[in-house]
Amino acid sequence: MAAETSTQSYSEKWYWDDRYTNESDPFDWYQNYPSLSPLINLYVPHRTHRALVIGCGNSAFSEGMVDDGYGDVVNIDISSVVIDAMNKKYSDRPQLKYLKMDVRDMKAFQDASFDAVIDKGTLDSILCGSNSRQHSTQMLDEVWRVLKDKGVYILITYGAPNYRLRLFKESSCSWTTKLHVIDKSLTDQPLETPKWELTKPIPLDDEGSSVESAIGKSPDVHYIYVCIKDAALKTETDAA
């Protein structure tokens, strides 16, 4: 079914309800927890930190976080089908919470509620749909709002810096952004020599053009943007 559906459907609730009704096996977009855990541990160092996983689907990623010692992992998804299924599956894991919610409207959460927000493909899905710029800006504004100051938004995406950095700038949020990459092939089996060390940030200029000199043109990687909320920077921008 998924192969026959245009990527535009990725932004629609009906698509995900239908998909999760028909596909119950766990599926992790882009990367799984073991492959990303060194980076998660680096930027979310305290296991008591509260994390929000947006567009969680039926991924085992959050289960991996709890197995790694994280004690409060909240998961949201627009699909009530998958949220119901995950609540049943993890009814014996109080560290895992599952809520039906639209990432563009998270008013159920207070400001500065989370130390980290983790996104594996949700922003990408929104960008596939209609009014994608408006909806992605709404999402980024909400992510920024629910993060504590100096909290991190970790975005795993196929989107190259020249596209994603521009998107960050178009929102009203203020981020300090670091870029990491991970080889796509690590999803299946590790390469002997990764293109770039996962926990080492890639030098990043304003337009992202410095990335090509570091890892070459059109690299076969997933990009990981670590966006650190900087409330002071936003205050300065608003004052100006």
Q: For residue 237, what pLDDT band results from cuts at 50, 70 and 90?
A: low
Average pLDDT on 136-146 reads 96
pLDDT tens string 147-170: 999 999 999 999 999 899 999 988
Q: For residue 235, what pLDDT band results from cuts at 50, 70 and 90?
A: low
State percent of the chain over pLDDT 70.
90
CA dist 21 and 208 (Å) reads 40
Whether 79 has a pLDDT exceeding 80, the answer reads yes
Task: Please indicate whether residue 235 or residue 61 has the higher confidence score (pLDDT).
Answer: 61
pLDDT tens string 13-42: 778 788 888 888 888 989 999 999 999 999
Report the 3 state secondary structure along 128-180.
Answer: CCCCHHHHHHHHHHHHHHHEEEEEEEEEEECCCHHHHHHHHHHCCCCEEEEEE
User: Domains of the chain (ranges plus CATH)?
Assistant: 40-183+195-238 (3.40.50.150)
Tell me how far apart the 2 most distant CA atoms of the chain are, in Å: 52
**pTM, entire model:** 0.91
Q: For residue 73, what pLDDT band results from cuts at 50, 70 and 90?
A: very high
Secondary structure of residue 105 in the 3-state scheme:
strand
The answer to whether residues 51 and 74 touch, using CB atoms and an 8 Å cutoff, is yes
Whether 190 has a pLDDT exceeding 60, the answer reads no
Whether 1 has a pLDDT exceeding 50, the answer reads no
211 is written with which tokens? 């990335």
